Structure formats: C-alpha cells, structure tokens
C-alpha cells in the first residue's frame, strides 16, 4: 500500500509549477514578488511587491502567465493582482521616546482637569431641551 499522503496544491502553486515548466527565471521572479491571497469564483487573487527589474520581468511575462493559468483553469479564469502595501520603516516614529517623569505627568493631568472644570457649564436638562426646541422651531411668539 502507498503510505504517502497526496498534498493538495492551491491554484497559486499549480500556476507556479506551470510557469517553472515554461520559464524558470520568470517563475523565480513570480515566486519572489507575489503572494497568494485567495482563489474564488475562478479568480486567483494575489498581491505583488515587484519593483525595478522584477516588475519589468513580470510585466513582460504576464501574458504567458495568464495563458498558463487559463490552460489549467479554463478560459474564464482570471488573475487579480493587488499592489502589496510596503511600510518604510525609516518613517516610523520611534516607540522609545523619552517619557516625562511621573511627577510632571500628574501635575499636567491635574491642571488639565481643573481647566476642563472651569470651562464646563452645569448640565441642566430643562435648559438643554429649551435650546434644542429653539434651534428647531425658532424663538416662541404669541399670535393673536
């Protein structure tokens, strides 16, 4: 009996194998520059971070990639490529910035609370209702 388990490949892996069979360099570029997202409704969704030479190689080879994909999955099969998000780590703010000492922090918080208390007006539901009605209907007037 054969004890090996058959490993199911997803659409991306099947396509990658097909590309390797036709053009090794293109397949290497495709493997390095793309990531599998999903395969649904006969559409392969991948993300691409290709830049420079890799981008040129993939652009030139995309027609072949599409032909190979359609040969495996049918004429209605599509490839949807999304640009991968890249984060420039140099632009990220440092998380190890100096924090003010606790004493100053407590004083700052207390002074902020005091300023808010001074500027706050006492909440009066009756007065609030009158203001809302005045905004909606205008100043009350007596008609004869």
Residues 39-65 have pLDDT tens digits of 999 999 999 999 999 999 999 999 999
For residue range 111-139, list pLDDT tens digits in order.
888 888 877 777 788 888 888 888 888 88
Structural domain containing residue 46: 11-84
In a domain? residue 98: no
Number of domains making up the chain: 1
The pLDDT value recorded for residue 101 is: 56
Closest CA to 50 of 38, 36, 32, 68: 32
In a domain? residue 133: no
In a domain? residue 136: no
**Is 28's pLDDT higher than 60?**
yes
The pLDDT value recorded for residue 102 is: 54
In a domain? residue 1: no
* 140: enclosing H helix or E strand: none
* 25: enclosing H helix or E strand: helix 24-33
In a domain? residue 58: yes
For residue range 59-116, list pLDDT tens digits in order.
999 999 999 999 999 999 999 999 887 666 666 666 555 555 555 555 678 888 888 8
The pLDDT value recorded for residue 124 is: 80
Rounded Cα gap, residues 22 and 116, in angstroms: 71
Task: Check if the beta carbon of residue 45 is closer than 8 Å to that of residue 38.
Answer: yes
In a domain? residue 22: yes
- Give the dihedral sign, CA 35/86/89/54: positive
């Amino acid at each position: 009996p054969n004890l090996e388990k058959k490993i199911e490949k997803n659409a991306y892996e099947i396509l990658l194998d097909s590309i390797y069979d036709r053009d090794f360099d293109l397949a290497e570029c495709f493997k390095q520059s793309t990531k599998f997202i999903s395969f649904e409704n006969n559409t392969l969704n991948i993300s691409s971070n290709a830049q420079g030479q890799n981008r040129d190689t993939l652009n030139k080879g995309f027609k072949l990639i599409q032909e190979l994909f359609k040969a495996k999955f049918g004429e209605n099969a599509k490839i949807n490529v999304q640009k991968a998000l890249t984060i420039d780590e140099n632009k990220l703010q440092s998380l190890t910035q100096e924090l003010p000492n606790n004493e100053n922090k407590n004083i700052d918080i207390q002074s902020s609370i005091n300023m808010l208390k001074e500027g706050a007006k006492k909440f009066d539901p009756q007065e609030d209702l009158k203001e809302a009605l005045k905004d909606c209907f205008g100043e009350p007037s007596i008609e004869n």
